[in-house]
Structure 1
Amino acid sequence: MDIKVLGTGCANCKRTVEMIQQAAQAKGVAVNIDKVEDIRAIMGYGILSTPGVVINGEVVHAGGLPTREKIEQWLHA
């Protein structure tokens, strides 16, 4: 599963990466997480507030920390 976390390196962006890694490990799901910090690349996804999360090319979240439950739903998709 290819996951991109979009953000300029703020605390919420870093925490989002950690939360996804922890949930994936707990569920035994293999993930490839890329951190996208380039503002032009982020804007290319139409994200106006970070962190944003893109899974397999689809924007699934933008702005604020996602909940653990939401992350677990992504990992089952």
Structure 2
Amino acid sequence: MKIEVLVTGCAGCRALYETVLKAVEEMGIDADVVKEESLERIIASGVMTLPALVINGKVVSKGRRLSLDEVKRLLNN
């Protein structure tokens, strides 16, 4: 599983990245978690609102700081 967290340096972005790492660890998922900070790559993905979460190439959330439970639900889908 490939998980990308599209972020800048804002507090909400950092929080989402940490939440994703915690969810992956707690669930025991074999995943490649990437923190994408390049604005060029983020814009190229079509996302204009951060933070955003991309799972296996699909944008599943944008513009929201998700809770641990919300991230776990998205990872289970």
Alignment TM class, shorter chain as reference = 0.7 to 0.9
Q: Post-superposition shift, 1:8?
A: 1.6
My pick for the range that moved more, 52-61 or 65-74, is: 65-74
Please report the TM-score for the alignment, with normalisation by the length of structure 1.
0.88
What amino acid sits opposite 2:3 in the alignment? I
Unaligned stretches of 5+ in structure 2? none
Task: For 1:57 and 1:13, locate their aligned partners in 2 and report how far apart those are by CA, in whole Å.
Answer: 19
2:70 corresponds in structure 1 to: 70
Please report the TM-score for the alignment, with normalisation by the length of structure 2.
0.88
Matched residue count: 77
Superposition pairs for residues 54-69 of structure 1, below 5 Å? 54-69=54-69
2:28 corresponds in structure 1 to: 28
What is the root-mean-square deviation in Å for CA atoms of aligned residues? 1.2
Query: Deviations along 1:2-30, whole A, 9 cap, x unmatched?
Result: 11111122211111111011111111112
Task: For 1:64 and 1:74, locate their aligned partners in 2 and report how far apart those are by CA, in whole Å.
Answer: 13
1:5 corresponds in structure 2 to: 5
1:47 corresponds in structure 2 to: 47
Q: Post-superposition shift, 1:55?
A: 0.6
Secondary structure of 2:14's aligned partner: helix
Secondary structure of 1:74's aligned partner: helix
Unaligned stretches of 5+ in structure 1? none
